[in-house]
A and B are shown apart, each in its own frame.
Chain A
């Protein structure tokens, strides 16, 4: 099963849920953990994997072979991202705008464009107990995170459980991380910000037709509106985690909840049972 953990709003506890679930199942089920929040990957602080391999991620960007180029302008015309400009006797490429679609090189009538890989980030592979771990990391100054998420997901293996820690938000990086999942957990907090962003996340996950449930973190702060919304929309609330300064302090040091409060292991295992019943 591929299970993704997403949220809409940042800082609600996606990584907390993902790492604690992985740790609780460690030894019971084989788990592959993919940290797809490649702009700000954080799961390694808690899982502390031994990194055994690292692989750069490249985006194919155009390289103009000036000797073949007739400056016809076809490449600039087909580029949907304005990443190429053709002047009278030169061609300018703007790599930061390129999505790596390959259109320019494919459609150049003179075969004057070849693609070269430009590094935009890195993947690191590791292990921690029985958990296979991979995360992606976008290089500083690079804009495009989806190709790194795709690269990480291309290394998905045949483990019975794959946990994907998704980035915050609702736009392209989230879609890239979450699509193809068998189930999704949306982590929120019972505040107006939490509710606003949960609604957006729910719309997104419904659009992708993925079965999902909600986890309410810091469940005793704020108000009742998230509970009411879930009840009205028939969204199962699969777990609540109360506000606990000890959890916050443990989090700040890079400790999981199950490490510091082992009683939580059972709660995360119960959560996993509920997630399995979501999968239809």
Chain B
């Protein structure tokens, strides 16, 4: 069983469009949407939810104003500026700023602060016409998106193992921080989707470095490569210099938006030069995975 994560660094380069297309091409797999704070893959895979599980990402501090003596010791030690005074002089805790460290509850001499579990999202196991799908919804402003990503991945992997599936395919979040690290750790390959814009190239390089930091093999593909051929060439050169396989160059295609509006993966919506290139990306991925097998 191989785990593939699709990343980009910069948002909006086409991770989810590509993930949905791969869902239609890859055999025997489970799909996982690990962009838990702005999950979109479900819009294309049209899941039927079979299981819903609550996610508790941590605790939040709650203050009992009756017990509070307004000594302000909690406010002094809070490093997240979550504890303030309201206009009536009452000490209040802002649940959005609270990071759940609990230090206030330990220092309060009046025992007025309690830590309570915060429900901070849900995760789902669903059925789709492309196979099983694990996805999630993080609560608004919730902490610990990395922990929810781990939960989604753990369950996707279990489904793959129980059903003897060949692939776990993970649609990852943008950026390089906590949820990205959780999405890529322990995967077999990170496919980085980029665009020929200076910003997207910079962001791709940072996410490739992040993957390498965690000893994950990387490959790249360029989306909308024809927007700026010179920059696309620069990406090709960079990939070559850094021994990163470039798996495909997908042209700009207006059908991408149309397919999204229809809620259909691109490869099922149309057949054109963009979908041909995506098929090539999948073949190349498949090739990379099998050559890895042979080496072992």
Task: Mark A residues whose CB is within 8 Å of B.
Answer: 8-12, 15, 39-40, 42, 45, 78, 80-81, 99-103, 106-107, 138, 140-145, 167-175, 179, 191-193, 196-197, 200, 203-204, 207-208, 221-223, 245, 248-249, 251-254
Contacts and interface: CB of A to CB of B under 8 A. Distances in A.
26 contacts: A8-B38, A10-B12, A11-B13, A11-B174, A40-B174, A40-B175, A40-B203, A40-B206, A42-B203, A45-B198, A101-B99, A102-B103, A103-B102, A138-B176, A140-B210, A141-B210, A168-B11, A168-B174, A169-B37, A171-B179, A192-B261, A193-B260, A200-B38, A208-B96, A248-B227, A254-B198
B251 to A, nearest CB: 13
Contacts of B233: none
B140 A254 contact: no
A207 B181 CA distance: 28
Given A80-B101, A200-B140, A193 B43 contact: yes
Interface in B163-212: 173-181, 195-199, 202-203, 206, 209-210
B77 interface: yes
Contacts of B177: 39, 138, 142-145, 173
Contacts of B56: none
B177 to A, nearest CB: 5
Counting from the closest, the 7 A-B pairs by CB-CB distance are A10-B11, A11-B12, A101-B101, A39-B175, A103-B103, A252-B197, A141-B213
Interface stretch (B125-133, B142-150, B285-293): B142-150
Given A42-B203, A170-B37, A252-B227, A107 B176 contact: no
A252 B231 contact: yes
Contacts of B101: 80-81, 99, 101, 103
A70 to B, nearest CB: 18
Nearest to B99: A99
A106 B9 CA distance: 37
B40 A9 contact: yes
Contacts of A78: 102-103, 106
Contact of B199 (A9, A15, A100): A15
Contacts, number: 185
A179 B202 CA distance: 27
B263 interface: yes
Contacts of A140: 176, 206, 209-210, 213
Nearest to A225: B261
A252 B141 contact: no
Given A40-B9, A42-B202, A80 B196 contact: no
Range for the number of chain B residues in contact with chain A: 35 or more
A151 B69 CA distance: 32
A78 B106 CA distance: 8
A107 B103 CA distance: 8
B97 interface: yes
Contacts of A204: 140-141
Contacts of B180: 39
B245 interface: no
Given A80-B102, A171-B37, A222-B260, A9 B11 contact: yes
B140 A170 contact: yes
Interface string B86-112: 000000000011011111001100000
Contact of B141 (A172, A196, A197): A172
A13 to B, nearest CB: 9
Nearest to B209: A140
B176 A40 contact: yes
Nearest to A143: B178
A203 B96 CA distance: 13
Contacts of A12: 11-12
Contacts of A245: 227
A252 B228 contact: yes
B214 interface: yes
Nearest to A102: B79
Interface in B209-245: 209-210, 213-214, 227-228, 231
B206 A169 contact: no
Nearest to A81: B101
B29 interface: no
Given A15-B199, A140-B209, A173-B177, 12 more contacts: A8-B38, A11-B174, A12-B11, A100-B79, A103-B101, A107-B103, A140-B210, A142-B177, A171-B36, A193-B16, A208-B141, A253-B231
Contact of B10 (A40, A103, A172, A196): A40
A47 B101 CA distance: 38
Contacts of A248: 227
Contact of B198 (A175, A196, A200, A253): A253
Given A40-B10, A169-B37, A197-B40, A222 B261 contact: yes
B283 interface: no
A207 B37 contact: no
Contacts of A145: 175, 177-178
A141 B214 CA distance: 7
A45 B198 CA distance: 7
A200 B37 contact: yes
B203 A168 contact: no
B5 interface: no
